[in-house]
């Protein structure tokens, strides 16, 4: 299904929502659409159940196979645990600071393994800023394992 038709179909089926993100499979077909109610200025209204939905899409015909509410039930609990440590803004700040510390530790592991200075690693990232996102997600997904192995091995 053409992307424009999918977006129009979602807009008709979910009035008052806007498309925020579309994920594609390896064939380039849409498989997941994230929609949110048109945002209010009050941040608390953004986390109300029914305000942020993920639509699992049949990539061939564009039909919604499943709707998942990101702010209800188990998903809301797991998301708040993962993002905010169940402590709202304070937890998010603490989580961000500890994530930055883990990323620096990963860079230091690379520094020691490859015999480069930390300035070399930071300089490289400064010259290649487009790599920061992929590096962040690589560390987010597996960097803890790298640091843990580095601590065990030496």
Cβ–Cβ < 8 Å for 17, 35 = yes
Of 75, 94, 111, the residue at which a domain comes to its end is 75
Whether residue 71 is found in the same domain as residue 131:
no
Position 125 in a domain? yes
Task: For residues 69-92, give the mean pLDDT.
Answer: 79
- Asked if residue 80 belongs to a domain, the reply is no
Task: Give the chain's domain count.
Answer: 2
Contact 17, 70 (CB under 8 A): no
pTM above 0.85, yes or no: no
User: What range defines the domain where residue 10 resides?
Assistant: 3-75
What pLDDT digit, counting tens, does each position of 8-42 carry?
999 999 998 989 889 998 888 888 898 888 765 55
Whether residue 121 lies inside any domain: the answer is yes
What b-and-e string marks burial along 92-110, b requiring 16 or more CB atoms within 10 Å of the CB? eeebeeeeeebbebbbebe
């Amino acid at each position: 299904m053409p992307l424009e038709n999918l977006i129009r179909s979602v807009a008709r089926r979910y009035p008052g929502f806007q498309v925020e993100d579309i994920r594609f499979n390896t064939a380039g077909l849409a498989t997941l659409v994230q929609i949110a109610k048109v945002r209010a200025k009050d941040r608390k209204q953004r986390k109300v159940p029914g305000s942020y939905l993920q639509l699992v899409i049949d990539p061939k015909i564009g039909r919604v196979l499943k709707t998942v509410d990101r702010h209800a039930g188990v998903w809301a609990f797991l998301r708040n645990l993962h993002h905010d440590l169940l402590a709202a803004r304070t937890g998010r700040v603490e989580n961000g600071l500890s994530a930055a510390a883990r990323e620096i530790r990963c860079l230091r592991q690379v520094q020691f393994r490859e015999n480069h200075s930390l300035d070399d690693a930071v300089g490289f990232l400064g010259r290649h800023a487009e790599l920061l996102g992929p590096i962040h997600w690589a560390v987010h997904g597996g960097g803890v394992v790298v640091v843990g192995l580095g601590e065990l091995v030496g």
